[in-house]
Amino acid sequence: MAAPHAIHEEFPQDSARIHDLKLKDAHFARLLDEYDRVNDAVHQAESLIQPTSEAAERDLRRKRAHLKDEIARMLSAHSVG
């Protein structure tokens, strides 16, 4: 089962574009992998599976938000051209 905030949950209307970009753009594929890794770490911290300091959890959340913003930007650019 995927952790909450999985990328397909964050962008449900963009599943085809996500798939297409993942296959065609290595940078986008790396962003997705990193997003999944960071999102899993946030979930583990939130659910106390991996005890984490508040500062470290806050940093993970910021990293996840930054990655999500970059993914959104790339999806938007892909839809235009």
Question: What average pLDDT does the segment 11-30 reach?
Answer: 96
Q: Would you say residue 46 lies in a domain?
A: yes
Q: Would you say residue 15 lies in a domain?
A: no
Kindly report whether the global pTM for this prediction surpasses the value 0.85.
yes
| Whole-angstrom distance, CA of residue 69 vs CA of residue 74 | 9
Is pLDDT of 56 > 60? yes
Q: Would you say residue 12 lies in a domain?
A: no
Q: What is the pLDDT of residue 43?
A: 95
Q: What is the pLDDT of residue 58?
A: 96
Q: Would you say residue 9 lies in a domain?
A: no
Range of the domain at 63: 27-78
Q: How many domains does the chain have?
A: 1
Q: Would you say residue 48 lies in a domain?
A: yes
Q: What is the pLDDT of residue 81?
A: 52
Computed over every residue of the chain, the mean pLDDT equals: 93
For the four alpha carbons of 21, 26, 32 and 33, in that order, the dihedral sign comes to: positive
Q: What is the pLDDT of residue 50?
A: 87
